[in-house]
């Protein structure tokens, strides 16, 4: 990494910790070589091992995060201050240069975390320029919406990337925040998301509608509200309304994920395979790009490719389905979990691709076949796949498998019966006759 790309001496860094357990000395040392200065805010006493030149401020329980951030901003030596929290990690690959931000153009922060194989993203303003008045509003969800809209500040399309392990707003208490007049508009997104996850779609929709009534909104928050409302409509099976909202959202900003995923899910439920394929493919084409919507969601490339291949097959696009399967195979080198293995195996069989079908079958059952033992559920699943292999006339593979299983477990009559059928199909008639003569 080039020195000028890495070194950000025009920025002071504030590290806000809710617990000293998040203090990472190695990370602080790395950032110390990048930023002009570092100050840590923490509820605990300064540890002895921390370098003396690193600033330390103790936060009291009754203090509000926004008040502390305003204080730290006012005390900064540099014009620009970046705020990070807890276990957050700053990505410097596309970090803005000093010339790319100014009084009328700020760079938002895109904060991402992964949960249950999905990537969730939140936009917040973390790189802030000193102001003549208070910049941050709110309590424990510091917000710059009022300052940005009043001063007609634009937002850069290239965000500051920040990664963390947990949801950045999971500890926010909307009821507490609403006791202030100058609360963050994002509170409606936080509350809407909480209701949505609880299955309270009517309540969630009300929060998103309330936010959309606001005149002064940052673009990513507005998109988040439209997408949230579309999600609520989709969950209530109000599909025309949901699709109309996704189109409205994409017209405003094509660089998003959730609207395409909502469309895909609706069309999939309606069994409109080609439309579902087109929506998911549009999502996939933008997978590596920044989304410009708050509270956006991404599914894994693995899940995307499997669904695309399945939809392509259902749409009669066999060549495209095979290509997608090859792409997934190359991306994962065949290393996928059992849930995806099932889908891959079925797709490979339906595409009559013996090489991949054999590979995925062996990946799924090599331990059970090798040991000669399996429970009833696994045995039933294996037999189902072998029935599909027989339908594709892959008789030799089926014969060899049941020959091995029968010799390991001669007491299981089903193996004998299936071996008889496979023996006949592979012209081993004499062997089939001997097996018929045996009593299980």
Q: What is the pLDDT of residue 235?
A: 98
Instruction: Answer whether residue 376 is part of any domain.
Output: yes
Spatial CA neighbour of 107 closest among 176, 33, 157, 49? 157
Q: Which residues of the chain have pLDDT under 50?
A: 1-6, 440
Query: Are 379 and 363 in a shared domain?
Result: no
Establish if 357 belongs to a structural domain: yes
Question: Are 361 and 378 found together in one domain?
Answer: no
Q: How far is CA 61 from CA 19, 24, 67, 429, in A?
A: 11, 22, 13, 83
Radius of gyration of the chain, Cα coordinates, nearest whole angstrom:
29
Q: Based on the fold, state whether residues 436 and 384 are members of the same structural domain.
A: yes
**Pair of tokens at residue 87:** 């276990």
Long-range contacts of 199-202 (CB under 8 A, 24+ apart): 199/235, 201/232, 201/235, 201/236, 202/232, 202/236
Domain boundary among 347, 367, 387: 367
Q: Hey, what are 19's tokens?
A: 């617990």
Contact 189, 224 (CB under 8 A): yes
pLDDT for res 339: 79
Backbone φ and ψ of 186, nearest 5°: -65, -15
Does the residue 27 lie in any domain? Answer: no
Number of Cβ within a 10 Å radius of residue 174: 19
- The separation between CA 27 and the C-alpha centre of its own chain, rounded to angstroms, equals 25
Q: Are residues 436 and 417 in the same domain?
A: yes
Same domain membership, residue 429 and residue 380: yes
- Structure token digits, residue 259: 């609207």
pLDDT, one tens digit per residue, over 48-99 is: 989 999 999 999 999 999 999 999 999 999 999 999 999 999 999 889 999 9
H/E element holding 17? none
- Answer yes or no: is 420 within a domain: yes
Domain limits for position 403: 372-440
Let me know if 63 is exposed, middle or buried by CB neighbors in 10 A (0-12, 13-18, 19+): middle
Same domain, 391 and 438: yes
Q: Is 380 exposed, middle or buried (0-12, 13-18, 19+ CB in 10 A)?
A: exposed
Domain-located, residue 350: yes
Q: What is the pLDDT of residues 204-253, one digit of tens each?
A: 999 999 999 998 999 999 999 999 999 999 999 999 999 999 999 999 99
pLDDT of residue 182: 81
Q: Does the residue 212 lie in any domain? A: no
User: Looking up tokens 């309270």, which residue turns up?
Assistant: 200
Residue 145 lies in a domain: no
Exposed, middle or buried, 52 (CB in 10 Å: 0-12/13-18/19+)? Answer: exposed
pTM across the whole model: 0.84
Same domain, 385 and 351: no
Q: What is the pLDDT of residues 385-396, one digit of tens each?
A: 999 999 999 999
Query: How many domains does the chain fold into?
Result: 2
What's the pLDDT tens digit per position in 185-198?
Answer: 999 999 999 999 99
The answer to the question of residue 183 being in a domain is no
CB 100 within 8 A of CB 148: no
β pairing state of 118-124 and 109-115: antiparallel
Domain's final residue, options 343, 367, 391: 367
Whether residue 378 is found in the same domain as residue 440 = yes
Handedness of CA 401, 407, 411, 417 (dihedral sign): positive
Domain-ending residue, one of 334, 352, 367: 367
112 neighbors 162 (Cβ within 8 angstroms): yes
């Amino acid at each position: 990494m080039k020195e000028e790309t890495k070194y950000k001496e025009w920025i002071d860094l504030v590290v806000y910790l809710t617990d000293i357990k998040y203090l990472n000395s190695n990370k602080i040392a790395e950032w110390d070589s990048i930023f002009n200065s570092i100050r840590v805010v923490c509820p605990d006493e300064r540890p002895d091992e921390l370098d003396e030149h690193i600033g330390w401020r103790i936060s009291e329980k009754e203090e509000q995060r926004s008040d502390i951030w305003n204080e730290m901003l006012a005390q900064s030596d540099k014009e620009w201050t970046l705020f990070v929290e807890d276990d957050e990690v700053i990505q410097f690959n596309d970090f803005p240069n000093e010339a790319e931000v100014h009084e009328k153009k700020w760079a938002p922060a895109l904060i991402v975390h992964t949960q249950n194989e999905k990537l969730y993203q939140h936009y917040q303003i973390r790189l802030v320029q000193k102001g003549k008045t208070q910049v941050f509003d709110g309590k424990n969800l510091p917000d710059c919406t009022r300052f940005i809209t009043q001063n007609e500040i634009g937002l850069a399309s290239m965000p500051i990337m920040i990664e963390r392990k947990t949801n950045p707003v999971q500890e926010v208490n909307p009821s507490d925040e609403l006791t202030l007049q100058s609360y963050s508009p994002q509170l409606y997104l936080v509350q809407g998301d909480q209701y949505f996850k609880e299955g309270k779609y009517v309540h969630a929709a009300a929060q998103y509608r309330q936010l959309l009534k606001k005149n002064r909104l940052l673009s990513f928050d507005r998109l988040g509200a439209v997408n949230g409302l579309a999600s609520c409509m989709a969950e209530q099976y109000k599909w025309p309304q949901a699709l109309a909202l996704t189109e409205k959202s994409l017209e405003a900003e094509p660089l998003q994920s959730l609207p395409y995923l909502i469309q895909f899910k609706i069309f999939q439920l309606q069994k409109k395979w080609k439309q579902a394929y087109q929506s998911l493919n549009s999502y996939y084409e933008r997978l590596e790009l920044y989304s410009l919507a708050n509270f956006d969601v991404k599914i894994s490339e693995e899940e995307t490719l499997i669904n695309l291949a399945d939809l392509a097959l259902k749409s009669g696009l066999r060549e495209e389905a095979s290509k997608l399967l090859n792409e997934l195979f190359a991306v994962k080198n065949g290393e996928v979990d059992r849930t995806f293995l099932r889908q891959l195996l079925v797709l490979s069989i339906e595409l009559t691709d013996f090489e991949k079908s054999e590979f995925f079958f062996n990946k799924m059952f090599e331990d059970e076949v090798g040991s000669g033992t399996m429970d009833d559920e696994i045995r039933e699943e294996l037999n189902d796949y072998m029935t599909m292999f027989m339908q594709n006339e892959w008789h030799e593979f089926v014969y060899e498998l049941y020959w091995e299983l029968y010799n390991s477990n001669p007491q299981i009559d089903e193996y004998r019966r299936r071996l008889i059928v496979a023996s006949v199909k592979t012209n081993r008639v004499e062997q089939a006759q001997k097996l018929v003569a045996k009593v299980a």
